Structure 1
Amino acid sequence: MTGTAQRCDAVIMGGGLAGLTLALQLKQRFQDIDVLVLERRTHPVPHAAHKVGESSVEIGAHYFDTVLGLKPHMDGAQLRKFGFRFFFSEGRRDIDQVTEIGASRYLAVPSYQIDRGIFENYLAEEAVRRGVRFDDAALVRRVDLAPDAEAPHRLEWTRGNETHSAEARWLIDACGRAGLLKRKLGLAQANAHDVNAVWFRIGERIAIDEWSDNATWRERCDPQARWLSTNHLVGAGYWAWLIPLASGSHSVGIVADPKLHPLDTIDTFEKAMQWFATYQPRLYDALDGKRHLLQDFAFLKHFSHGCKQVFSGRRWALTGEAGLFLDPFYSPGSDFIAISNTYITDLVAHDRAGRSVEARAQLYDQIYHSFYESTLALYQDQYPLFGDPEVLPVKVIWDYAYYWGVLSQIFFQQRLTDLMLLGSLKEELQHCQRLNLAVQQLLRSWSAASARRNAPVMLDQAAMPWFAELNRSLKDPRLGDAEFRARIRASVAQLRQLAGEILGRARADNADLSGCALPSVLEEDIAALPAGAQAGAMLFAALPDDSRKPRLPNFTERSSPVAPRARP
């Protein structure tokens, strides 16, 4: 290294979403900490066409608005998301005549559609206001990790024609897919989830609510603002997204299994438009007259990846896409940023208190990878069933229940770093993982037998009281240890009941369940679990045996066999 090195408590390589939120979290936890963020791009960055990954869900949204205290910005400069919405619209222009999955009203816990340019500019400014040193247009040239437990890490970067160097007790890689530490340490790890994505931004709203003049269809939602949802137009092997941005633009993307939709059929804007003309013609119609408003176009091959290690007792860590990345179908990217940043902040806290972090870093790494593997199961090998109007709605409800009932409870209740409490729930949490893997396997088998009837109905998630209550429960004040254990055990019981109902429905459809693991998982005896609610179906109610009627899920109240008010 040359020249006099700056001395820092932490250097964060990468000033995007992951790096800047970590800087804010560190400054919030330790007012006197000296944090330096090095960002390759020059600020301010452009609005709209900056980065993909604009949709947030409950954990990430809570991290931004509550943990980091950014709610005024989220409410004032971003868009509140009207949940996820799914349309089985392949080859169709009549959007009001296909099955729709979504909520008719906002549920209790907010999430946001995020213009990444607006947000990252704000985060950089806010970080500086809070005392973070932020160098943009900074290109890291060299990294030397500490040779022992007490020596500092050293790094060198250039900014224009100037060369700078620093020594840091903690070194964090948040530089996205560039993965400086990942490459240096040989941590890259492939996974078996092979999917590709293309995306672009159009400089005008895509008004999906205006795709039909059917008043009944429009009135299913209050507010009549489906455009604020992350809209998924789904088919076998793919989904297309529509995400609105506060800058006035709309983000459009295609995520596809290459076995069914090869990347070379969609890897330019013109190819993507021709693909839309075939597979999603109503979206093609909406875009065709806006070609002159195209703001960017990009694609990414085999974007899902793992990482052998993300936290180290030698005082380095990876966060965001520099570490792991799953799949955008349920928008988990900001969730995993929130989780990894919380673990990193806690490791720094233990180090500043003079405690060894070696064992804790290993445990956090194991837990984080466990969350990753559990969540990966929601996507891996599941793309072929995305075009199934009978099975995908059930999968979506299961996936939400698993997410809100387990991982979200741990995060919202501030239990991520409570190793003793999580350890006391190890049996229940591992059972949930086995249950989820078995349900995902069952869904694949069921879809192979499904008639895939595409009825003109809205499957209203807000009409399921137990489902809306599970979402609302995330807002509860912090529970005591015994109450938290009881909540997780109740979630496990609820998931077991739901899984049993899904199994029964798959059997009724004569699915080939040979080799299906779910029956044996449901037979496991989990001590101290409360009895599941048996008064009524959570998801399904008996339908008349009428072959002329579509065999669709009838969303019902958990505590009563009487279905709630149906929507047309």
Structure 2
Amino acid sequence: MTRSTERTEILVVGAGPAGSVAAALLRGQGRQVVMIEREQFPRFSIGESLLPQSMEYIEQAGLLQDVVEAGFQYKNGAAFVRGERTTQFDFRDKFSAGWGTTYQVQRADFDHVLAKGAQRLGTDLRFGHEVLAVRPGAQPEVDVRAPDGREYTVQADFVLDASGFARLLPRLLKLESPSNFPVRGAIFTHVRDHIAPEAGFDRNKILITTHPEHVDVWYWTIPFSNGCCSLGVVAEPSFFDRYPGDDLQKLQAIVGEDPNLTRLLAKAEWAVLPVRRITGYSANVSSLHGEGYALLGNAGEFLDPVFSSGVTIAFKSAQLAADCLARRYAGETVDWEAEFDAPLRHGVKAFRRFVEAWYAGGFQKIIYHPDPQPEIRRMICSILAGYAWDRDNPYVSDPSGRRLRVLEELCSA
């Protein structure tokens, strides 16, 4: 069979949040963009509670109206519960300038909205097209199989890998490197929650619950606008092995160990979405870029779901890559290490410090402290709202994490 060849300026692999925002930003620059996606949309994905910082990138990409009109659940903060201890962060009361509200989204719908928005802006969007091979270089080439079995090659000026957990280029080019996070897993589903208005559950906030006995085990409860919640528990895999039955039974048993969740979900209809499990999702790569390509979002690095940072990191990577490509097409020399890799990793490392401190228990002492200093609380709130690239925030600009450790000690006294 003869394989045809076609040309484009930018080829985006993957139509998730990173790919769609990158494509939309590049279309705003007047670039020719082809975006290929192996699956058909809408399709399920995890990562359903957005952070306000992400709204800046959606707005820059020209996709704000698409998202606002989709009818997603409004979100203005995060609530934390452990036993009798409770606290709330209102993302509008934060240290960093910028958006203080966002949405909680069913990702099947959200990702489809973004992809269709990128298509509306002129992206050549192709669902059901699978990458077979990639040859990086000054003019990279990608072999693709269409849904009808036809194979073709795309020659591009540049390739952006936004393939998410599929991690296409890291696998094909052997870029993967071990994550230094302990292996953790999540069991999750959607429930029709039937939570009464008088129950004290703020549907405008994600609820993060620490297990009553295990500081490194936590639950997410993410309310949607359709009366459902995303419900999940995160722990090391051996923790799940303590419970008999299938994953639904395990999830119900673990949720049943928390009195507040048991009360809130007393009338819930379970598993309106099939129960799912993911394990060992943290990932890293040796490099986020190479000749003719860059890695966006989860294709490059994924930390942990505890602070919902995944989509925000994906959007930030798309923005940085689009800015680099704008300079490239303007005839400038682009230092991808200094202008893409280093700034992206700076924010990722800021998130990482807080994720590690959460599981160790120290950051939870800060979160649940009964008498926080208001200005410091606003700085912490900015991190929780996704502003991990705001170097004016002392807890972002401190690469050693010393300031966070001192705060943990003060809150432990």
- Shorter-chain TM-score range: 0.7 to 0.9
**AA at the equivalent of 1:40:** R
2:367 is matched with 392
- For residues 6-21 of structure 1, the aligned pairs below 5 Å read 6-21=6-21
* Other-structure match for 2:300: 323
Superposition deviation, residue 53 in structure 1: 0.4
Alignment pair present for 1:196 and 2:203: no
- Of the candidates 438, 448, 453, which is equivalent to residue 402 of structure 2? 438
Question: If each structure's helix is expressed as a fraction of its own residues, which one has the higher value?
Answer: 1
Counterpart of 1:336 in structure 2 is: 313
Question: Cα–Cα, structure 1 residues 248 and 11, in superposed 2: closer, same or farther, change >3 Å?
Answer: farther
Measured in 1, the distance between the counterparts of 2:112 and 2:147 equals 19
Is 2:188–2:251's contact at 8 Å kept on the other side of the alignment? Answer: no
The question of whether the paired residues in 2 share the 8 Å contact of 1:153 and 1:170 is answered with no
Rounded Cα–Cα distance in structure 1 between residues aligned with 2:359 and 2:384: 24
Number of aligned residues: 398
- When residues 407 and 243 of structure 1 are mapped into structure 2, their CA distance, relative to the original with a 3 A threshold, is closer
Specify the alignment match of 1:167 in structure 2.
155
Out of 50, 54, 67, the position equivalent to 1:56 is 50
**Do residues 100 (structure 1) and 94 (structure 2) align?**
no
Letter in 1 for 2:367: L
Shift in CA distance, 325/400, structure 1 to aligned 2, threshold 3 Å: farther
- Give the distance between the partners of 2:49 and 2:39, measured in 1 at CA: 22
Cα distance in 2 for residues equivalent to 1:245 and 1:265: 29
Partner residue of 2:352 out of 367, 376, 400 = 376
Contact 1:208–1:227 at 8 Å: present in 2 too?
no
Rounded to whole Å, the distance in 2 between the matches of 1:4 and 1:104 is 54
- Map residues 392-471 of structure 1 onto 2, 5 A cutoff: 392-394=367-369, 401=379, 404=382, 432-434=398-400, 437-442=401-406
1:375 CA drift (Å):
1.7
Q: 1:334-356, CA deviations, whole angstroms, 9 ceiling, x for partnerless residues?
A: 22112211111012112212233
Aligned to 1:249: 228
Cα deviation, residue 286, structure 1: 4.8
Name the residue aligned to 2:96. Answer: none
> 8 Å contact 1:154–1:167 — kept in the other structure?
yes
CA distance 1:240–1:504, change in 2 (3 Å):
closer
Counterpart Cα distance in 1 of 2:385 and 2:260: 36
| 2:162/2:296 contact within 8 Å kept | yes
The match for 2:68 is: 75
Task: State the alpha-carbon separation in 2 of the partners of residues 263 and 341 from structure 1.
Answer: 38
Structure 2 counterpart of 1:136: 127
Cα displacement (A) at 1:69: 3.2
Match of 2:113 among 118, 122, 125: 122
- The separation in 2 between residues aligned to 1:174 and 1:137, in whole angstroms, is 15
Give the unaligned 5+ runs of structure 2.
94-98
How far 1:368 moved relative to its partner? Answer: 1.9
| CA gap 1:185/1:407 in 2 versus in 1, 3 angstroms | farther
- Give 1:113's aligned residue: 104
Shift of 1:371: 2.3
Does the residue aligned with 2:315 lie in a helix, a strand or coil?
A: helix
**Counterpart amino acid of residue 88 in structure 1:** R
1:296 matched to which residue of 2?
A: 274
Give the direction of change, closer, same or farther, for the CA distance of 1:256–1:408 in structure 2 (3 Å limit). Answer: closer
Against the structure 1 CA distance between its residues 407 and 103, is the aligned structure 2 distance closer, same or farther, given a 3 Å change threshold?
Answer: closer
Give the corresponding residue for 1:232: 208
2:34 to 33, 36, 42: 36
CA 1:289–1:3: 2 relative to 1, 3 Å: same
Distance 1:125 1:405 in 2: 30
Q: Distance in 2 between matches of 1:36 and 1:343?
A: 19
Paired residue for 2:80, among 83, 86, 96?
86
Aligned letter for 1:432?
Answer: D
**1:5 corresponds to 2:5:** yes
In percent, how many aligned pairs have the same letter? 20
**SS of 1:182 mapped into structure 2:** helix
Distance 1:199 1:174 in 2: 24
1:182: Cα distance to partner? Answer: 0.4
Structure 1 residues 96-151: Cα deviation after superposition (integer angstroms, max 9, x where no partner): xx2211147964721211221221222222222111111111111121222xx3x3
Query: RMSD between aligned alpha carbons?
Result: 3.2
Distance in 2 separating the partners of 1:263 and 1:18 = 34
Structure 2 CA distance for partners of 1:382 and 1:407, relative to 1, 3 Å: closer
C-alpha contact (below 8 Å) 2:91/2:385 kept by paired residues: no
In 1, the alpha carbon distance for the partners of 2:178 and 2:126 equals: 32
8 Å contact kept, 1:115–1:247: no
- How far apart, CA to CA, are the structure 1 residues paired with 2:343 and 2:276? 33
The AA in structure 1 aligned to 2:229 is: H
Residue in structure 2 matching 1:181, options 148, 152, 169: 169
Q: Distance in 2 between matches of 1:406 and 1:367?
A: 19
TM-score (norm 2): 0.85
Q: Secondary structure at the match of 1:377?
A: helix
| CA deviations over 1:444-495 (Å, ceiling 9, x no partner) | xxxxxxxxxxxxxxxxxxxxxxxxxxxxxxxxxxxxxxxxxxxxxxxxxxxx
Give the letter for the 1:310 counterpart. Answer: L
Tell me the alpha carbon deviations over residues 509-542 of structure 1, each in whole angstroms, 9 at most, x when there is no partner: 3xxxxxxxxxxxxxxxxxxxxxxxxxxxxxxxxx
Assess if the C-alpha contact under 8 Å between 2:37 and 2:127 holds in 1: yes
Matched-pair contact (CA < 8 Å) for 1:206–1:227: no
Q: CA deviation at 1:27?
A: 0.8
Is residue 345 of structure 1 aligned with residue 311 of structure 2? no
In structure 2, the CA distance between the partners of 1:159 and 1:399, relative to structure 1 (3 Å rule), is farther
Distance 1:368 1:106, change over 3 A: closer
Superposition pairs for residues 524-543 of structure 1, below 5 Å?
none
Does the aligned pair in 1 maintain the 2:4–2:153 contact within 8 Å? yes
Q: Distance in 1 between matches of 2:18 and 2:143?
A: 20
CA distance in 2, matches of 1:130, 1:34: 11
Give the partner amino acid of 1:438: R
2:289 is aligned to 311
Give the Cα–Cα distance (whole angstroms) in 1 for the partners of residues 409 and 258 of structure 2: 32
Matched-pair contact (CA < 8 Å) for 2:189–2:271? no
Please tell me whether the aligned partners of residues 317 and 344 of structure 1 are also in contact (alpha carbons under 8 angstroms).
yes
Q: Indicate if the aligned counterparts of 1:84 and 1:102 stay in contact, CA closer than 8 A.
A: yes
Deviation at 1:63, TM superposition (A): 1.7
Q: Rate the CA distance shift 1:74–1:394 in 2: closer, same or farther, 3 A.
A: farther
